[in-house]
Structure 1
Amino acid sequence: MRIKNVFAFIVMFFIVGIATSQEKKADKKFIVNTVAFYNFENLFDTINQANNDEEWLPRGAQNWTSKKYHQKLENLARVLSEIGTNDTNHNAPVLIGGCEIENRGVLEDLIKQPKLAVNDYGIVHYESPDKRGIDVALLYQKKHFKPMSSVNVPLLIYRNESKEKDKETEEDKLDKDKIEAKTGERVYTRDILLVTGFLDGEEVNVMVNHWPSRSGGEKKSSPFREAAGRLARKIMDSIYKVNPNAKIIAMGDLNDGTYNKSVKEGIGAKRKKEEVKEFGVYNPFEQMAKDGHCTLFYRDAGDIFDQIMVSETLIKTDYSSFRYWKSGIYNKPYMITTVGQYKGYPLRHGANEVGFSDHFPVYIYLIKEAK
């Protein structure tokens, strides 16, 4: 009888202990910040400037009027203001990477939209040498993020990659982001934007990418994106040399899937957290792609070109500082084409409708325990 009583007491002790532990875990409060990326798809104003914007003028092929431009801004602002609000007490993303941006002016117009103005966004933007005149940029909520430095890192790539194998130094082997032929022509594309700052007091490095397109075919253009992947990796390694514990977020429209060589070998991204070694990179969107999710349709096949990757330092289990929590693709019904040949595709600009983009935006959550 005594043995039964002792056993009952032990069982009760463990039940109470487990319940108390779960209650404490449930009681923990976390700070949740959303980081997003969105391809704005041809965010051009209606002013003729010294770039290839003729198509996006009132008399251009798109008949791009002031009314359409402002509708586009309103549409983008609606999406950006909603991303992540289900899990962050209605707070829009603290960091937003964007691409296909004509100039700083269109960003200034965008953040003045009522749905975004309440968050007081700042802008980090540089003009890039892209032949279409489009750039990448970072928007940030001033009350949460304080940029300390920024740089536009050029991607130097050339057509007709040389087949000659000259002797290479160790430095040359590391500097393969420069694909060059003796008679080659430079491919002018977007630079990689690197911004270092403090997110609610913690240093974070953010890279915004828009890698070379698949113009001319995926196979023919792949070396350009592979070069972009190596350049992105080189930037990360440079950051780690200064600070081995650096937190890095790499985001962008890569024009490649999570499985392509540019991502898997160039950056060295891993699908599973347990595969990520020191100084490594975790890509949560690889599993999402494997599960059949997509951010765009390319030649009638869905894929995830828009990705956000994080450094090994952001996937540790100590939540006393910011860590990666989870990721998602923002694709609400109003952003999706409902009829016709492109039913199910992202709702983009057309002859009779100003849409959103041909891409869905992506996002991740960073969390830490509140003090």
Structure 2
Amino acid sequence: MRFPFFKKKSKKQRYTVAFYNLENLFDPERNTKILDKDYTPNGTKKWTVERYQRKLNKLSKTIVKIGAEDHPYPPALIGVAEAENNSVFKALLDTDALDDLDYGFVHYDSPDERGIDTGLIYRKKFFNVLHSEPFTLLVDNAGGVRDTTRDILYVKGELNKELVHVFVNHWPSRRDGGVETEYKRVIAANEIVQKIEIIKETELDPNIIVMGDFNDDPSSKSMQILKDDASLFNPFETLHIPHSKGSSVYGNKWNMFDQILVSNSFFNYQKNTHSFDSAAVYDHTSLKEKKGKYKGSPYRTFVSDRYLGGYSDHFPVYTMFSFNS
């Protein structure tokens, strides 16, 4: 699915910025500090080194092709969710598909009880990290007990020497009900609004990219807060067609939980700046179930404890930017 927003008068240098929920990218080693027992060789998933390596290879081959319909080169930035630790990031970047592309990564261990975190993968040739930190998301469950959810990853850097602020998110799930847990994602949205306001205290018109698995659709209250209170543009609002098109499926309903929002500063053509061009879901045939009642949905690694050997239960999403030289 693609939705172009601009027709260019001349050919320009283009860069892909992507987000991908990797669906439980655990290494097979037991870590007693988190709930990863299922993802070990003797666990319920029988998560062996061979299965782990197979998943790494599948994900890496997908990452290099995200946006290939619009641009033949691998993404400059890829935000990810559901990665366990530094080890899996290193293993992913050491795969044959990614090894020669000189990618770096930013990752912090979060309080999430399962140990699945967000991260940012970047091509060092195009992106220079100036600062990074995790923002702890303080939300409680209905009973007043702390929900140890994922941090919001913040990275400040230079994309082709232009200053950019990137927020990578994996917001609290809907496991206990979409309406019942909505307040958690509203808190997350307001947290980002506050961080953007702080940035604006020292920068007149900052370049902001907010990406992630938000566990909410573009029309949800939390996403409308980002749109209205942070003045962010959400191209996936147009792309989402409830029940028929999205980035993931739950209960035979398509959701667009994976999104990338950008600040209005990217709608310009000044020299040495980036302009937003288009957005899409990367739903290549290789990433889809080929038959059965789930035909066309993401080809995932597991359904419950049954191993399928696929990629992820989410499609990657991406945005295209043009560099004005």
Which of 39, 42, 56 is the aligned partner of 1:73? Answer: 56
Matching of residue 132 in structure 1 with residue 87 in structure 2: no
Letter of the 2:231 counterpart = G
Unaligned runs of 5+ in 2: 1-7
User: What is the alpha-carbon distance in structure 2 between the residues aligned to residue 332 and residue 357 of structure 1?
Assistant: 13
Deviation at 1:215, TM superposition (A): 1.3
Deviation at 1:317, TM superposition (A): 4.7
Percent identity over the alignment?
37
Matching of residue 321 in structure 1 with residue 296 in structure 2: no
Matching of residue 186 in structure 1 with residue 153 in structure 2: no
Query: Highest relative contact order (Cα 8 Å, sep 6+), 1 or 2?
Result: 2
Letter of the 1:365 counterpart = M
Letter of the 1:316 counterpart = N
Q: TM-score, structure 2 length as denominator?
A: 0.92
Aligned length: 313
1:367 matched residue in structure 2: 322
User: What is the alpha-carbon distance in structure 1 between the residues aligned to residue 41 and residue 309 of structure 2?
Assistant: 14
Q: TM-score, structure 1 length as denominator?
A: 0.81
1:170 matched residue in structure 2: none
User: What is the alpha-carbon distance in structure 2 between the residues aligned to residue 150 and residue 233 of structure 1?
Assistant: 18
Unaligned runs of 5+ in 1: 1-24, 161-182, 271-278
8 Å contact from structure 1 (residues 29, 369) kept in 2: no
1:283-331 Cα shifts (integer Å, max 9, x gaps): 0000001485200012210010000000011123546510110011101
Letter of the 1:294 counterpart = G
Structure 1 stretch displaced more, 226-235 or 350-359: 350-359
Matching of residue 306 in structure 1 with residue 291 in structure 2: no
1:268 matched residue in structure 2: 227
2:232 matched residue in structure 1: 281
User: What is the alpha-carbon distance in structure 2 between the residues aligned to residue 215 and residue 329 of structure 1?
Assistant: 24
Which protein is richer in helix relative to its size?
Answer: 1
Letter of the 1:66 counterpart = V
1:9 matched residue in structure 2: none
Which of 42, 54, 59 is the aligned partner of 1:59? Answer: 42
1:337 matched residue in structure 2: 289
Matching of residue 85 in structure 1 with residue 40 in structure 2: no
TM-align CA RMSD:
1.6
2:124 matched residue in structure 1: 142
8 Å contact from structure 2 (residues 269, 324) kept in 1: no
User: What is the alpha-carbon distance in structure 1 between the residues aligned to residue 164 and residue 223 of structure 2?
Assistant: 21
Pick closer, same or farther for the CA change 1:151–1:327 going to 2, 3 Å. same
Letter of the 1:86 counterpart = E
Letter of the 2:235 counterpart = P
8 Å contact from structure 1 (residues 39, 100) kept in 2: yes
Which of 295, 313, 316 is the aligned partner of 1:358? Answer: 313
Letter of the 1:154 counterpart = T
Matching of residue 349 in structure 1 with residue 309 in structure 2: no
Deviation at 1:51, TM superposition (A): 1.1
8 Å contact from structure 2 (residues 14, 322) kept in 1: yes
Deviation at 1:132, TM superposition (A): 1.3
User: What is the alpha-carbon distance in structure 2 between the residues aligned to residue 330 and residue 68 of structure 1?
Assistant: 24
8 Å contact from structure 1 (residues 319, 367) kept in 2: no
Deviation at 1:159, TM superposition (A): 2.2
8 Å contact from structure 1 (residues 37, 96) kept in 2: yes
1:199 matched residue in structure 2: 159
> Aligned with 1:108: secondary structure?
helix
Deviation at 1:222, TM superposition (A): 0.7
1:293 matched residue in structure 2: 245
Deviation at 1:341, TM superposition (A): 2.9
Deviation at 1:232, TM superposition (A): 1.4
User: What is the alpha-carbon distance in structure 2 between the residues aligned to residue 346 and residue 288 of structure 1?
Assistant: 17
